[in-house]
């Protein structure tokens, strides 16, 4: 899939599932359940044991039915390993310019983390496709809206504290998409192998995004 097509699928879907677990055993099934529920973009974080092998397994089993990324990437070496394993985009909690350069070199999507206006603009001007505003719950939707004021050209993805109660407010504040972790990929559901629960939650988030965008167009 081309870089442009990958970005379009992420933005069109509106949700990036942040997949964390103490075990990588069932994560391919988790990602499949997310996609079946309507959330096709998922990042496997490097806090997951054997994250590289999990990325390889998900890519092998699910192919292009999902938009697979790697998260919690802290350095360019990890980013390169993830891309070679099959990740189509890189997400980071912090701003590392070398990670951005590495992704641009490989023509892959990169979403570095930033919080202050200075960090957000530095990430964007360095070549970020989307800037992950983290931790978003510190400032909430009001802070995201404030960032959008002087920086309307920057695509912002709030992550941290995004759930079914706050998602619409973040979208109204100008988020291009939402990073959703435990409120979507519930640790208890993952541990229990409750894929129906994960599928149900994914459908709720997908429906929320669709409803918001239809309302925004109508308005």
Q: What is the mean pLDDT of each run of 10 residues along the chain (219 residues)?
A: 96 98 92 98 97 97 97 99 99 99 98 99 99 98 99 99 98 99 98 98 99 81
What is the domain partition of the chain in residue ranges?
Answer: 3-218
Residue 142, token pair as written in the block: 């009001």
Burial grade of 217 (CB within 10 A; 0-12, 13-18, 19 or more): exposed
What tens digit of pLDDT does each residue of 101-119 get? 999 999 999 999 999 999 9
- Calpha distance 179→130 (Å, rounded): 11
Q: How far apart are CA 179 and CA 142, in angstroms?
A: 17
| Predicted local distance difference test score (pLDDT) of residue 217 | 61
Q: Which residues pair with 33 in a beta bridge?
A: none
Predicted confidence at residue 3, as pLDDT, reads 94
| 3-218: CATH class | alpha beta
User: Distance between CA atoms of 113 and 102, rounded to whole angstroms?
Assistant: 16
Q: What does the pLDDT look like over 56-94, one tens digit per residue?
A: 999 999 999 999 999 999 999 999 999 999 999 999 999
Residues 81-86: contacts with CB within 8 Å, 24+ apart?
81/52, 82/46, 82/51, 82/52, 82/55, 83/108, 85/52, 85/55, 85/56, 85/59, 86/55, 86/56, 86/58, 86/59, 86/60
Assigned token pair, 73: 């990437």
Q: How many CB atoms lie within 10 A of CB 22?
A: 11
Q: Are 15 and 184 a contacting pair, CB within 8 Å?
A: yes
Q: Which residues contact 203 (CB under 8 A, 6 or more apart)?
A: 37, 38
CB-based contact 71:45 (threshold 8 Å): yes
pTM over 0.85: yes
Please say whether the beta carbons of 163 and 183 come within 8 A.
Answer: yes
Rounded distance, CA 184 to CA 181, Å?
A: 6
């Amino acid at each position: 899939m081309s870089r442009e097509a990958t970005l379009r699928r992420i933005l069109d879907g509106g949700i990036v599932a942040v997949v964390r677990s103490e075990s990588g055993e069932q994560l391919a099934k988790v990602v499949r359940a997310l996609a079946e529920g309507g959330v096709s973009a998922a990042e496997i974080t490097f806090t997951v044991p054997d994250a590289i092998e999990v990325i390889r397994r998900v890519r092998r089993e699910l192919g292009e039915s999902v938009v697979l990324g790697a998260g919690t990437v802290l350095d360019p070496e990890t980013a390169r390993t993830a891309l070679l394993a099959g990740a189509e985009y890189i997400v980071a909690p912090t701003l590392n310019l070398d990670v951005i350069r590495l992704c641009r070199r490989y023509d892959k999507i990169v979403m570095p983390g930033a919080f202050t206006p200075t960090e957000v603009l530095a990430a964007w001007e360095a070549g970020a496709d989307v800037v992950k505003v983290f931790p978003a719950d510190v400032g909430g939707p009001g802070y995201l809206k404030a960032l959008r004021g002087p920086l309307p050209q920057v695509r912002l993805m709030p992550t941290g504290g995004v759930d079914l109660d706050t998602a619409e407010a973040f979208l109204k504040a100008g988020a291009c998409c939402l990073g959703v972790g435990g409120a979507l990929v519930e640790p208890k559901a993952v541990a229990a192998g409750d894929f129906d629960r994960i599928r149900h939650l994914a459908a709720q988030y997908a429906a929320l995004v669709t409803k918001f965008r239809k309302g925004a167009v109508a308005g």
